[in-house]
Amino acid sequence: MTASEIVIAVLASFGALFSLLAGIGIIRMPDVYLRISVTTKAASLGVGLLLVCAALYFREPSVTTKVLAIILFVLLTAPVGAHLIGRVAYMLGVPLWEKSVVDDLKGKYKGRSQALQSSEGTGGADSRED
């Protein structure tokens, strides 16, 4: 076994492990917000490592270029998508996990417009009730 094959095997193993952890996180996390966090981070890393393995295995400029484009796309879109899913869940009133200590957004969104207010002048009203 050559050194490049060992590197590919190690990266593929870690990529598969992180993808598996993302799948387990979807099942095990208690609320939608924690599920979003786990899956975005672990799945992005897992997919990225598996794509790097593909680039190392094929060693062709066309494959490497496509892999880099896909990795860039995943790194740009996964956090944005997770943020939007979390924001919509919060606006729809999806409850936090009962053991959550702090709701940092409580009282910071205007009711129907859903515009984010600064922490000054919120008045302490919970906008989720509007």
The percent of residues in the chain predicted with pLDDT above 70, rounded, is: 87
Same domain for 13 and 58, yes or no, is yes
**Contact of 27 with 62, CB cutoff 8 Å:** no
Range of the domain at 24: 3-99
Same domain for 30 and 89, yes or no, is yes
Same domain for 33 and 13, yes or no, is yes
How sure is the predictor about 40, in pLDDT bands with cuts at 50, 70 and 90?
very high
Contacts of 7 (CB under 8 A, 6+ apart): 56
Tokens 């975005």 belong to residue: 40
Closest alpha carbon to 33 in 103, 96, 117, 113: 96
Same domain for 80 and 16, yes or no, is yes
What integer is the mean pLDDT of 55-77? 96
Same domain for 65 and 31, yes or no, is yes
Q: What is the pLDDT of residue 120?
A: 59
pTM metric for this prediction: 0.78
Same domain for 118 and 67, yes or no, is no
The percent of residues in the chain predicted with pLDDT above 90, rounded, is: 63
**Contact of 123 with 109, CB cutoff 8 Å:** no
Same domain for 80 and 117, yes or no, is no
**Token pair for residue 62?**
């066309």
Same domain for 91 and 125, yes or no, is no
Give the Cα separation of 61 and 74 in Å (integer). Answer: 20
Give the Cα separation of 49 and 51 in Å (integer). Answer: 5
Contacts of 78 (CB under 8 A, 6+ apart): 40, 43, 44
Q: What is the pLDDT of residue 71?
A: 96
